[in-house]
Amino acid sequence: MKASAIAHSNIALCKYWGKRNEELILPFNANISMTLNKFFTHTTLEFDKKYDKDILVINDKEYANETKEYKLYVGRFLRVVRERVNTDLYARIVSNNNFPLAAGLASSASGFAALAIAVNEIFNLSLDKNGLSILARQGSGSAARSIHGGFVEWLKGENENGEDSYAKQVFDENYWPEFRMIACITSTEEKKYKSRPSMQMSVETSPYFKQWAEGSDEDVQKVKQGLREKDFTLVGTTAEHSCMKMNGVMWTTKPAIIYQNQTTIELMHAIMQWREEGLESYYTMDAGPQVKILCLEKDVDVLVEKLSKFDGVEKVVVNKPGYDAKVVSEHLF
Ligand code: PMV
């Protein structure tokens, strides 16, 4: 009853922020992402009667069952799994990320996508991609998208049971080989505000939440059109605007949710300035202070040179569109 899987993280071009159903993790708005080739999670999962409680180890650190990582996320997901496969066995999970955990680089996306793949394997569920995405979604919303490589849309769905809220691939990882997303790490500290409770606070208190949710579907259509026509300007401007609208909602939540640090803000200014000078790139940010920069291959070298010597930038990682989540034979224990 042991299986291992690898899943890549993803970064949204049009963001998801806010659930219409917290239990099933159903979003208010559709959203679209790119899966990253460089950042991934490798997870081994085992269910066995030798365990008298769940054991969770991420990047060599054990998380007790009282921690919020376990209670809010993994423990909750394991409950969903146990109910579904009708078992009362406990599990051991060992997971390695090759990037900082919980710092706004979508570790929960790759983590829960890998877990869903492993659950499917262990219990012979024979889920198709939609079913895998629905299962991953119940761990963390953005994980629904990490089942697929390339460019991925998470359909918000209409049904209250969530069966039509899954992610599907829009274009695979080979479709636009010149497309890049440069991750600039400005801090490796874990974020102050977890996205799950934070987005719920936004739903309840931001006066702009309704407009945010209503406008997002149109942004997804624009990004899809930009991808279809390989119109980088349309994809970039729409992605940057979606990120700023999400941040408008975050900043106007009570109390305010501010993920940016000083370097984040300085990078935003720099990117806009470079763009005025003819270097076309766009920024996006998530639930953390890292800045992800969209650009084309032709501008990567110039950007990396500028970013590597930018004050406060700790690390620069150039990503291409990455791959589907999959079962692997290498176990971590
Ligand atoms: O599913 P979560 O809890 O990882 O939420 C992700 C929310 C953002 O990263 C901020 C936006 C997104 O669409 O990925």
Dihedral sign of CA atoms 171, 173, 176, 182 in order: positive
Whole-model pTM above 0.75?
yes
Whole-number Å distance between alpha carbons of 219 and 197: 25
Closest alpha carbon to 104 in 184, 205, 18, 21: 184
Evaluate: CB of 232 within 6 angstroms of ligand 1. Answer: no
The amino acid present at 102, given as its one-letter code, is A
The residue whose CB lies within 8 Å of the most ligand 1 atoms, and thus the one to mutate among 20, 34, 68, 195, is 195
CA of 278 to the centre of ligand 1 (A): 31
Domain that holds residue 170: 1-333
CA of 81 to the centre of ligand 1 (A): 22
- The encoded tokens of residue 299 equal 């501008």
Ligand 1 atom with minimal separation from the 10 CA? 14
Evaluate: CB of 142 within 6 angstroms of ligand 1. Answer: yes
CA of 180 to the centre of ligand 1 (A): 20
Evaluate: CB of 212 within 6 angstroms of ligand 1. Answer: no
CA of 119 to the centre of ligand 1 (A): 22
CA of 88 to the centre of ligand 1 (A): 30
Evaluate: CB of 316 within 6 angstroms of ligand 1. Answer: no
Q: What is residue 99's predicted lDDT score, i.e. its pLDDT?
A: 77
Q: Spell out the residues 6+ positions from residue 56 whose beta carbon is closer than 8 angstroms to its own.
A: 62, 63, 69, 70, 74, 93, 95
Evaluate: CB of 16 within 6 angstroms of ligand 1. Answer: yes
Q: What is residue 1's predicted lDDT score, i.e. its pLDDT?
A: 95
- Atom 4 of ligand 1: nearest residue by CA position: 142
DSSP string, 293-324: EEEEGGGHHHHHHHHHTSTT--EEEEE-B---
Evaluate: CB of 267 within 6 angstroms of ligand 1. Answer: no
How many domains does one find in the chain?
Answer: 1
Q: What is residue 100's predicted lDDT score, i.e. its pLDDT?
A: 66
Q: Spell out the residues 6+ positions from residue 76 whose beta carbon is closer than 8 angstroms to its own.
A: none
CA of 227 to the centre of ligand 1 (A): 21
Q: Which long-range contacts (CB under 8 A, 24 or more apart) does 259-263 make?
A: 259/104, 259/191, 259/193, 259/285, 259/286, 259/287, 259/288, 259/289, 260/285, 260/289, 261/186, 261/187, 261/289, 261/312, 262/312, 263/186, 263/187, 263/289, 263/310, 263/311, 263/312, 263/313
Q: What is residue 102's predicted lDDT score, i.e. its pLDDT?
A: 57
Residue 129's CATH number? 3.30.230.10
Evaluate: CB of 104 within 6 angstroms of ligand 1. Answer: no
Task: Check: CB of residue 17 under 8 Å from CB of residue 30.
Answer: no
Evaluate: CB of 97 within 6 angstroms of ligand 1. Answer: no
pLDDT digits (tens, 9 = 90+) for 135-180: 999 999 999 999 999 999 999 999 999 999 999 999 999 999 999 9
Helix axes of 107-122 and 75-85: crossing angle, nearest 10 degrees = 20
Give the residues of the chain that fall short of pLDDT 50.
Answer: none
Q: Would you give the DSSP letter of residue 53? A: S
Q: What is residue 190's predicted lDDT score, i.e. its pLDDT?
A: 74
Evaluate: CB of 107 within 6 angstroms of ligand 1. Answer: no
Evaluate: CB of 245 within 6 angstroms of ligand 1. Answer: no
Q: What is residue 193's predicted lDDT score, i.e. its pLDDT?
A: 85
Evaluate: CB of 32 within 6 angstroms of ligand 1. Answer: no
Whole-number Å distance between alpha carbons of 241 and 216: 10
Whole-number Å distance between alpha carbons of 144 and 155: 10
Evaluate: CB of 18 within 6 angstroms of ligand 1. Answer: no
Q: What is residue 72's predicted lDDT score, i.e. its pLDDT?
A: 87
